Amino acid sequence: MAASTASSEDVVRPAACGEALAFTTHTLVDKKQVNLCETYGGQVVLIVNTASKCAFTPQYEGLETMYRKYRARGFVVLGFPSADFANQEYKGEKQIQEFCRLTYGVQFPMFEKTRVAEHQAGPMYRKLAQLSGQYPQWNFHKYLIDRNGKLVGSFASGIPPEDPKLVNAIEALL
């Protein structure tokens, strides 16, 4: 494996919850290790590869609105910043965090910068692509995971958080 594909994501027991959440990763800036199965198993999860300097960056607002609207019902958005597409993410993770909070009021969990593009994806994004048949083609691709940790939907970057297709899919799982 080339150094550019290295990731701090580790695979955890897939039997503990569905394959889509069978990973550990680290939070943005403070680098706390998070076992996605233990922390988010039993919830409806939307995993999104994000970027701060992209035409789709305003989707942060819709993602945060969705998170606040549904979190009491067991829904969470997980943001994974990535610079894979046109290097549209800040280099520093503290800068990413400040941008997200100050510009869009992001409170949903954000994780360390992650490689998501097909030829350099980290383990979690390789698994999500294997399960869905689709790697992200750009920033703000969304993977929807049910309460059992099973991937149930993949939504391209051009589908905003408020799109009825995505909203209906989430509401059906809550």
For residue range 26-54, list pLDDT tens digits in order: 999 899 999 999 999 999 999 999 999 99
Within-domain flag for 10: no
- Residue 43 inside a domain? The answer is yes
Whole-prediction pTM: 0.90
* Alpha-carbon gap, residue 119 to 109, rounded angstroms: 26
Residue 1 lies in a domain: no
49 belongs to a structural domain? yes
9 assigned to some structural domain: no
Give the chain's domain count: 1
Looking at residue 105, which CATH number applies to its domain? Answer: 3.40.30.10
Give yes or no for residue 16 having a pLDDT over 80: no
pLDDT at 63: 98
**What span, in angstroms and rounded, lies between the C-alpha atoms of 51 and 58?**
10
Backbone φ, ψ for residue 81 (5° rounding): -60, 145
Domain that holds residue 131: 16-173
Residue 64 in domain: yes
Q: Which residues are catalytic?
A: 54
Write down the residue that tokens 């939070």 correspond to: 27
- The mean per-residue pLDDT over the stretch 109-113 comes to 97
Q: Which of 30, 46, 36 is nearest to 97 (CA)?
A: 30
Q: Which runs of E-coded beta strand occur in the chain?
A: 10-11, 23-26, 33-35, 44-50, 75-81, 142-145, 151-155
- Report if residue 97 sits inside a domain: yes
- Quick check: is 113 in a domain? yes
